[in-house]
Structure formats: structure tokens, C-alpha cells
Structure 1
Amino acid sequence: MTLFSGAETPFSTLQRGVVDSAHDEAQVTFRDSGSVVRLQGVSRRFGQTRALHAISLTVQKGEILGLIGRSGAGKSTLIRCLNGLEQPDEGVIEIEGRNITGLSEKQLQTVRSRVGMVFQHFNLLSAKTVAQNVALPLKIAGMDKAQRQQRVTELLDLVGLADKAQSYPAALSGGQKQRVGIARALAASPALLLCDEATSALDPETTRSILALLKSLNQKLGITILLITHEMEVIKSVAHRVAVINAGEIIEQGPVWQVFAHQQSDLTRMLLRGLLPQLPENLAARISDQKQGDAIYSVHFAGDDAQGDLLTRFAAALPGKFRLLQGGVDHIQHYAVVRFFIALPAANAADEQQILSWLHAQQAHVELVGYVASHD
């Protein structure tokens, strides 16, 4: 994120970030058509507690979908429904086009072989070596020893742990343990990888390396990933699309760059608060809904609308009619996402209308934050 603040900040600082945005990889292209996961009207209750309510969600083949929400939002229940550990009270769950609702435990075994799980706390067997941990699901599936050894070698090389095959979990770092967990989850060549808070127990640097690994696996193998998290930074780093869940309901979803640019819910705004430019605290504390002093507006541009010399033209078209307070540029999925705050003298209605009309004509999303009394 490129940040700037203060009225004296030149638009060129922001402009450079916008001009550098690329378009050649803007659209996510999946390797196959169709979906790996489809939920339609899924609800689950525990007594009087509603854990999931009318969830409808699709995860396309080759896609990384981030599901984000606070603790208790329903994320864990949703995962348990996807791997058959919970049965919904209502609705349909399909994995690779097969309806798994109502299947017997024996029938679910076939479905689970197509779904790999990566856990927050690794869940490795401490008495077994790295190679043995990765080989375990293959052994249970009945693969012969020579094939298991070959597959384990391939997987450990894929996750960057070829030299740790004979090590035990106690000798590994947290990031290495999670890489073992990922290799184990990939052992049976699943169509879907469920990552349940897979990075929340890791430090920031290790988190970045694990997310880079997941992104690489998605690109190399074409594997579909459903990433469950409470951290929007994780979603931003690796996901193609994001769905926001709250109190058991999906309240917002879309391509990550679009959700970052135009949040539709208060929860999403809260989750993004640390990643997007905000008004300085001393200024935000003075915001009032009383129409006096300066009107404070937040302005968003994204995608094609944030390209070229738009911001330079804004400054040139309306010189001296506004003050730039704070803002920044980010690049998400090769799209520019721009947010800044401006102050307009509330007393000058003609200038205010001219500025707002110009911004709307450029497809900007403009929102009145409030008013701040001018300093003498």
C-alpha cells in the first residue's frame, strides 16, 4: 500500500502507483469449467442456535476462494458440512457435482478422498517421521510401499522439504510442520483443499511463505482451494474471490479487488480497516453530522476506472477547490485500488456539486463521511 497524507502531498505520488498497474493478467482463468463445490440453501442448527442459514456458495475448479468471518460466524460448521462430519438440516451440498447430503459414512469415504484438509495446529503424529506422516493416508488407502515412497518423495520435493523426510515433527519449525500438513493433504491428489485457519498459528514471515506455497500449488496443480480465515491480509495475498460470513450468513462476496474497493457491509469495512487508508485519528474524532465547516468525503476508484491519468486530471480540472487529506494506492489481482479522502468547504455548495459531479462522471464511488469544523 502506497500512503500519502496532508494537503501538500502531490498527486504524482498516487499517480505513479496507478500507472504501473498491469492488465495482462487481470482476469483469473480457471483450468476447467464447472464447480468443485456448490452449496444451495444450506442451513444448520444446534438446538436453538443457528450456525448456518441459507448458505449458497460456489467454488469453481482451479479457484482459490477465501471465506472470512469473525469467531463464531459459522466457518467451522461450514467446513464440517463440506467434509461430511456434519449434515445440514436444509439445503444441498455438492462436491464435484455429487450431492453428499444424506450419504452414509461408507459412501462419504469416497468423497473425503477427494478433499484434503490442512489444519491450524498441523495435527502431525509425533512418533512418525515426516515421510511416514505424509504416507499415512496412502497406506490407509492401500497403496503399495514402492508407490507410497515415490509419491512421498514427490510431495516433499513439491513443498520444499525433500531433506526432512526422516526428521520427526519435534525437530521442525511451525512453517515446516504446516508444509508437512499440506503435503499430507495432497497425498491422494484431491480435487479440493480445505485450509482451516492454516496460517493463524504462524508468524508473519512464515505466513507469507505458506501463502506463497498455496498459490504456487494452485498454479502448478490446478487444485481448488477453500481458505478459511479471520484475516483479510491472508485473503488479499492469495485468494481470487472472497465471501464474508457473519452469524451463519454470507453477507458479501465477489472478486477480492472489487470487495476491497467497494465494501457493502459494515463487517467488511471493519475487517479491512487495517489494510485501507483511514482518516487520521485526530481528524476522525472531530467528525460530526452537523453541516458546518468542511465536508469530508471518501473517494474510491478501482479497476479500469483507476488507470491512466485520471487523478492528474482531477487535480488539474478542479485546482484549489478541495484539500487532499489522506489516501493510497494498492494493487490487488493486477488491478489498481485507490482510496483517498478530500475536504470541501461546506459553505461553497457550487464547488462541492462541481467536484462531486466530476467524480461521479469518472465512475468513482463517493461517500460523505461527515463534517469537521474549520480551524482558525
Structure 2
Amino acid sequence: MAREPSSAESEDVVRLLRVNRRFGNTQALKDVSLTVKRGEIVGIIGRSGAGKSTLIRCLNGLERPDDGTIEIEGSPITGLNEKELQSVRSRVGMVFQHFNLLSAKTVEQNVALPLKIAGYDKAKRRARVAELLALVGLEDKAQSYPAALSGGQKQRVGIARALAASPALLLCDEATSALDPETTRSILALLQSLNQKLGITVLLITHEMEVIKKVAHRVAVINAGEIIEQGPVWQVFAHPQAELTRTLLSGLLPQLPEALSERLTQSRAGEAIYSVHYAAQDSAGQEQQGEILTRFASELAGHFRLIQGGVDHIQHYAVVRFFIAVPVDNTDAEQTILHWLQQHQAQVELIGYVTRNA
């Protein structure tokens, strides 16, 4: 997991306040407010067309919002002209989905390009490029051309290029979506390492909740141009509030078996089906989450049927989710179970009823 920002790094690198962007009758961004503090990795997740790309283009000055405020390191950028934006862009590195490398230039030349534009002399460029290629593990590829590289190596070159001018902020636009799972893991590990070594702030745009889970401190969920939910990653995983968030998490969290889900009814009969969410801090960690499950099973044995469940560990929290079936003809047992779970700060939701032979 990426390091937690220290108290000395608490100032905002990115601040958006009620940002709106319209294209004709389409509202691409609607009252978007978001902060990213120095040293954080923050993920922005949403489906295609949700407004993620517009948001990132507003942050690097390629799009101008219709209204609202955008600040980078405390400086407003919404009123700047093109020349003034250049100094802001030098503080913002960009990593693209499809790498955007120049095929006719070597790895060394690709990474050196922003330094050349910034006016670095040849000796300083070569020294900085060597440092960056070592940082991303491509020391031996300096004279290679992009065509000779794998997808993961190309993305490492893209990351090195984005870091060339020592930016305060790294914007990653679907940086792993063109990569296979193994390569994705290596790139995410690299981003974590850079966050830890350099303290660089990262804003990660993605449609993959697995990416958010692996590297981000906080997540914001965007839908139809609006941020509909945001918070620490462990908290959003443990207690998703928006329906879209639950959908995005459906592949990562235990779900009610489909055959049982199809039998659900709202008529009180047979068994009541409950979902239970629980999060325990890893200061007690696995021991604490194991204890609550063990105690629940032993103290309330015979009062419920365990359907399905699992435990995950996110940001030093054990996130537990399981489903139970409770006979509706034993009201005392049902109330005892609910009272016990609520006493232990579990989030409990009745999702329906099934007949006993379900």
C-alpha cells in the first residue's frame, strides 16, 4: 500500500471547487469539488463517459471550466492564458493510456524531450535521464526504440518522461488499462514505490476498482459529471453508499449467489437474508476480525445459516462482508442476532426473504 501522507505534507496540491464544464447541452462536469493533499494517491473512478477525461483535461489546462475554481499548489489556473499555463504544466506530469511515445526517438530521447523543451543543457539532460531510467528499472534500454519494448516497458518510459521536470503532481489517465494483469501489477507497484521514495502526489483516473484498491489512499466515484461518493478506500469498500459504487465493487466483494438472489422476495416468509459489513483496524487486524467471526459463530450457533462471505485487507483495515439467513418464525433469535451485530459496529442490511427450500 502507498505510504500515508505525513502531517507535514497536508497542504493541498489540487483543489477544485464547484467546477462545471458543458459541451452544448451536455454537462460533462457538474459542481465538482475535490482536494488532493501532498503525498496522497487519489483515485477517480467511473464508467466511460462519466467525466473522468474532462476532469483531467481541466487539471492540465487543456479544457477550461465554464465556472468554478481549480488550484494547483494553491495557485488558481482557471484565468491563466496559454503562456502562463506553461509554468503550471511544468509542475504536472502526465501518464497516458497508450504511452504516447515518439517512435522515431530512442528511450533516452523520449525521456529527455521535456527537459530539452525546458532548456536544460545536454549534460544535465543525460544525467537526469540516466537517473530516471534507473528509477523505473530501464537502465539498459536507453538506446532502444519504442517498437522494441513491451507494453509495460513503454509505460515505464512514459512515467520516467512524466517525472523528468520533477513535477509536484502526476496525472495518470487509465495508465494500466492497455496492459495485461501481470504488467498492471508491476506498474502499480512502481507508482507505489515512486510515491514512497519521492513523496509525489498522484491523481489516478481509472474504471478499474482493483487498481484503486491496490494503490490509492482515497477514492472519488464520478457519474454523469458528478462526484457521487468519496472517502478513504477502506471505508468506501466497507460501506459503499451509492448504487454505482456497489456495482463497481461487485467483482471484488462477496456477492449473494445468483440462484439465491433470483428467489428473493419482499414477502416475509421462510428466511430473512441479511448482508453484514464490518471493518476492523489492523492495529488489532486479523486477530480482531477473526475474533468477531469466531464469537459470532459460537455465541449465536443454531440461530442463523451462513451463506457466503469473505475478508479483505485494505489500508490496514480488515474489511469483512458476509451473508446470513435467519428463520423468520424465530423473532427472538432474529432480534438477538441483529442486536449482537449492531453492538459490534457491523453494518447490517435486510435484502429480502427466501423460502426454506431455496
Q: TM-score band, normalised by the shorter chain?
A: over 0.9
Pick from 327, 333, 347 the counterpart of residue 351 of structure 1: 333
Matches within 5 A, 1:329-344: 329-344=311-326
**1:289/1:371 contact within 8 Å kept:** yes
Pick from 18, 22, 25 the counterpart of residue 45 of structure 1: 22
What per-residue deviation string (whole Å, max 9, x for no partner) do you get for residues 43-102 of structure 1? 000111100000000000000000000000000000010001111111100000000011
Matches within 5 A, 1:11-160: 28-30=4-6, 32-160=9-137
- 2:210 is paired with a residue whose SS is helix
Instruction: Look up the match of 2:249.
Output: 272
Pick from 213, 217, 230 the counterpart of residue 194 of structure 2: 217
**1:286/1:372 contact within 8 Å kept:** yes
What per-residue deviation string (whole Å, max 9, x for no partner) do you get for residues 183-227 of structure 1? 000000000000000000000000000000000000000000000
Instruction: Look up the match of 2:298.
Output: 316
Q: Distance in 2 between matches of 1:375 and 1:248?
A: 45
What per-residue deviation string (whole Å, max 9, x for no partner) do you get for residues 94-126 of structure 1? 000000011000000000000000000000000
Q: Distance in 2 between matches of 1:81 and 1:365?
A: 38
Decide whether aligned partners of structure 1 residues 36 and 26 sit closer, same or farther in structure 2, where only a CA change above 3 A counts: closer
| Matched letter for residue 336 of structure 2 | Q
Deviation at 1:27, TM superposition (A): 8.6
Aligned residues: 352
Q: Distance in 1 between matches of 2:63 and 2:5?
A: 32
Greater displacement, 341-350 / 204-213: 341-350
Q: Distance in 2 between matches of 1:311 and 1:51?
A: 45
- TM-score computed with the length of structure 2 as normaliser: 0.96
For structure 2, list consecutive stretches of 5 or more residues without a partner in the other structure. none
Q: Distance in 1 between matches of 2:235 and 2:354?
A: 30
Taking every aligned residue pair, what percent have the same amino acid on both sides?
A: 76
Deviation at 1:28, TM superposition (A): 2.3
Deviation at 1:29, TM superposition (A): 3.1
- Runs of 4+ aligned residues of structure 1 deviating over 3 Å after TM superposition are none
Matches within 5 A, 1:104-253: 104-253=81-230
Q: Distance in 1 between matches of 2:183 and 2:232?
A: 25
| Matched letter for residue 145 of structure 1 | K
- TM-score computed with the length of structure 1 as normaliser: 0.92
- 1:303 is paired with a residue whose SS is strand
What per-residue deviation string (whole Å, max 9, x for no partner) do you get for residues 142-185 of structure 1? 00000000000000000000000000000000000000000000
Deviation at 1:311, TM superposition (A): 1.6
| Matched letter for residue 322 of structure 1 | F
1:327 lines up with 2:304 in the alignment: no
Pick from 256, 273, 290 the counterpart of residue 296 of structure 1: 273
**1:38/1:94 contact within 8 Å kept:** yes
**2:169/2:201 contact within 8 Å kept:** yes
